């Protein structure tokens, strides 16, 4: 049963406008409401929230097929197809060596075409260490089954399962992969490790021809010095990619992804999480966050730019899901700077922890909850 409730609610070479706090814990100061934040919030569209599916278990991401079918991946390894005009059904998914534990399992998804899905998942097998990998998954036409066709990226580190990543973003033939540092102090600053990075590859899993790192580095590394990338979003009308990232007990971050950038996370020795998320003392040239939560953190997750005139004053804003914050923050932008923020009122604590955000071609925002049991797939639409 679907329930609807009303809600009131440049390119990569461009220079980053730094809006991060001067000290850890300060957060990025929100502009004075008198300067226009309240006006932007007042132009929020009226929204409907539809429960498309329930009885899910830790859904991690959603891929939308060209015919409108939603593919929902659960962290435990289940793939569920939800057609526009029929009941949900499980897709028999074959992921060789699949492993789930702690924060690891079936994670990011990206639809390549009607018969192909890119999936990020954890694996283990005898004689080799556990890893996180990205594979092309072939979908049977009637969506009864799906199986790995080709592994594109492998060797992303995993230890206990903590900080496993792994978020995917497919833009014009380039696949971006946001990874976690595997709670290993050696990975974020190591250019030969795929942990604590944003990777960029083509659809064969090969490095880009203009990769920012070559000598002594894994050429798939696009940016480094990350703790745990949980969201990637392409900004319409530009070549920009933005990320959302978990901090330790302070400063979840939203970042503009700059090729070759160091984002300043270095918890060694001893994986000391008291260090700043962006350590400018150690790395003076580190890329500062565009926006951060300060203390307490909200456990930022999926992110997407809102598109379509139906979103009113929110068109072009960056929406960021929050696990611990149990809501969605909407960041208003001017250029590359955050000039205001608001929240989607009806989703603010009403559905618990929120994980992924996916924007459909029609402007609808698909949202997954992450409460551990009886999770939901939501569809949020502006009213005409």
First to last CA, the chain: 23
Q: Which helix (H) or strand (E) holds 39?
A: helix 37-42
Count the Cβ atoms, other than its own, within 10 Å of residue 111: 20
188, 226 Cβ separation under 8 angstroms: yes
Which CATH number is 4-382 given?
2.120.10.30
| Contact in structure between 91 and 114 (CB atoms under 8 Å) | no
What pLDDT sits at residue 36?
A: 43
Overall residue count recorded for the chain in this entry = 384
User: Rg of the Cα trace of the chain?
Assistant: 19
Confidence grade of residue 27 (pLDDT, cut at 50, 70, 90):
low
Instruction: Identify the bridge partners of residue 292 per DSSP, sorted by sequence position.
Output: 253
> Does pLDDT of 62 surpass 90?
yes
Comparing CA positions, the residue from 366, 235, 367, 361 lying closest to residue 310 is 361
The pair of three-digit structure tokens given for residue 232, joined into one six-digit string: 């990637």
Domain ranges of the chain: 4-382
Q: How far apart are CA 199 and CA 228, in angstroms?
A: 13
Give 314's DSSP letter: G
For 338, the token pair is 């955050």
pLDDT, one tens digit per residue, over 37-55 is 445 555 788 999 999 999 9
What is the CA 321 to chain-centroid distance, rounded? 9
**In contact, 382 and 311? CB cutoff 8 Å:** yes
- Please tell me the pTM assigned to this model: 0.90
CA distance 101 to 330: 31
- For residue range 109-150, what is the model confidence (pLDDT) as tens digits? 999 999 999 999 999 988 788 999 999 999 999 999 999 999
The residues facing 384 across adjacent strands are: none
Q: Would you state the pLDDT for residue 363?
A: 96
Q: Assess whether pLDDT exceeds 70 at residue 3.
A: no
- Helix (H/G/I), strand (E/B), else coil: 34: helix
Q: Is residue 198 within 8 Å of 233, Cβ to Cβ?
A: no
Confidence of residue 33 (pLDDT cuts 50, 70, 90): very low
SS3 146: strand
Rounded-to-integer distance, Cα 367 and Cα 384, Å: 20
- How far, CA to CA in Å, does 76 sit from each of 80, 297, 373? 12, 26, 12
Q: Which pLDDT band, with edges at 50, 70 and 90, does 161 fall under?
A: low
């Amino acid at each position: 049963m679907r329930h609807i409730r009303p809600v009131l609610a440049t390119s990569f070479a461009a220079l980053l406008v730094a809006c991060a706090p001067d000290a850890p814990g300060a957060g990025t100061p929100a502009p004075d409401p008198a300067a226009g934040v309240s006006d932007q919030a007042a132009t929020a569209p009226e929204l409907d929230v539809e429960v498309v599916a329930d009885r899910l278990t830790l859904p991690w991401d959603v891929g939308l097929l060209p015919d409108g079918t939603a593919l929902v991946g659960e962290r435990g390894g289940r793939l569920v197809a939800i057609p526009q005009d029929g009941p949900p059904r499980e897709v028999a998914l074959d992921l060789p060596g699949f492993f789930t534990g702690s924060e690891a399992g079936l994670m990011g998804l990206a639809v390549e075409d009607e018969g192909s899905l890119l999936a990020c998942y954890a694996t283990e097998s005898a004689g080799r260490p556990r890893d996180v990998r990205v594979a092309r998954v072939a979908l049977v036409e009637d969506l009864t089954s799906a199986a790995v066709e080709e592994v594109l990226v492998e060797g992303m580190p995993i230890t206990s399962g903590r900080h496993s990543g792994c978020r995917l973003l497919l833009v014009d033939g380039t696949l971006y992969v946001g990874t976690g540092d595997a709670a290993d102090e050696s990975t974020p600053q190591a250019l030969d490790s795929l942990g604590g990075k944003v990777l960029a590859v083509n659809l064969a899993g090969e490095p880009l021809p203009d990769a920012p790192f070559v000598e002594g580095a894994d050429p798939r590394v696009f940016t480094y010095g990350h703790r745990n990338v949980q969201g990637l979003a392409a900004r319409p009308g530009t070549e920009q990619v933005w990320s959302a990232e978990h901090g330790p007990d302070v400063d979840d971050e939203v970042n503009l992804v700059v090729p070759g950038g160091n984002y300043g996370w270095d918890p060694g020795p001893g994986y000391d999480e008291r260090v700043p998320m962006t350590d400018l003392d150690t790395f003076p040239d580190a890329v500062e966050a565009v926006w951060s939560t300060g203390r307490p953190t909200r456990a930022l997750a999926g992110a997407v730019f809102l598109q379509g005139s139906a979103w009113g004053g929110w068109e072009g804003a960056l929406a960021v899901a929050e696990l611990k914050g149990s809501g969605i923050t909407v960041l208003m932008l001017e250029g590359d700077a955050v000039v205001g923020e608001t929240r989607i009122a009806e989703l603010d604590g009403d559905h618990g922890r929120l994980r992924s955000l996916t924007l459909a071609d029609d402007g609808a925002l698909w949202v997954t909850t992450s409460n551990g049991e009886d999770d939901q797939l939501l569809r949020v639409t502006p009213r005409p």
